[in-house]
Amino acid sequence: MRYLGYPEKQQGVTLVELVISIVILSIAMVSMMTFFSTSMSRSADPLWHNKTLKLGQLYLDEILAKKYDELTPMGGLPFVVTPDCAGLGPDSLGAGTETRASFDDVDDYHGISNSAPVSLTGAGLDSSYDDYRISITVACDGSDVGASGNAHAKIITVQVTAPNQKTVTFAAYKGNF
């Protein structure tokens, strides 16, 4: 004799349940992939910012270590009574002008424009810096910092442009001492 009790419960999912699950999973995957692709496109930004900061610091440290003026003695004192703000840029030397390796005061760096970054000796830096550009200007600006005359302080502005990024500007003052 056959038992005619409750039939066994059905196992599995229906086609409608399966389609709804696939649609929900697809929507979740699309939103997650959109989030990941957006974050991945910005993942190199900290690297660019860090390298830009390093280059700006490298150049400012080098420049600020130099004398204020061609006539400034080693150690900076006594200060130059009448510093010259008319002849900014590399000084003339016999047959040519100073090179970066022979720069001895801050205004020698004035006029470096859109140049690939190089070390003090003129050798290129790591190849990852090849597409960066450096521009440097030096100007007398003593009146903005309360110096006794406009020629008694110079502002050094270093602009670093990373590939496909905005230009970042660094500035520092060097006083006549």
In tens, the pLDDT along 3-30 reads 666 667 767 788 999 999 999 999 999 9
Sign of the C-alpha dihedral, residues 61, 65, 71, 72? Answer: positive
Q: How confident is the model at residue 95 (pLDDT cuts 50, 70, 90)?
A: low
**Are 122 and 166 found together in one domain?**
yes
- Do the bridges between strand 92-93 and strand 96-97 make them parallel or antiparallel, or are there none, so unpaired? antiparallel
**Are 38 and 121 found together in one domain?**
no
Mean pLDDT in residue range 29-36: 89
Contact 136, 109 (CB under 8 A): yes
Domain of 109 in residue numbering reads as: 45-175
Mean pLDDT in residue range 121-144: 85
**Are 34 and 104 found together in one domain?**
no
Total domains, the chain:
2
Q: Tell me, what's the pLDDT at 96?
A: 65
Q: Tell me, what's the pLDDT at 36?
A: 82
**Are 92 and 120 found together in one domain?**
yes
Spatial separation of the C-alpha atoms in residues 141 and 15, rounded to whole Å: 78
Whether 58 is in a domain gets the answer yes
Query: At 147, phi and psi to the nearest 5?
Result: -70, 160
**Are 88 and 37 found together in one domain?**
no
Q: How confident is the model at residue 152 (pLDDT cuts 50, 70, 90)?
A: confident
**Are 120 and 83 found together in one domain?**
yes
Mean pLDDT in residue range 150-157: 87
**Are 52 and 36 found together in one domain?**
no
**Are 85 and 141 found together in one domain?**
yes
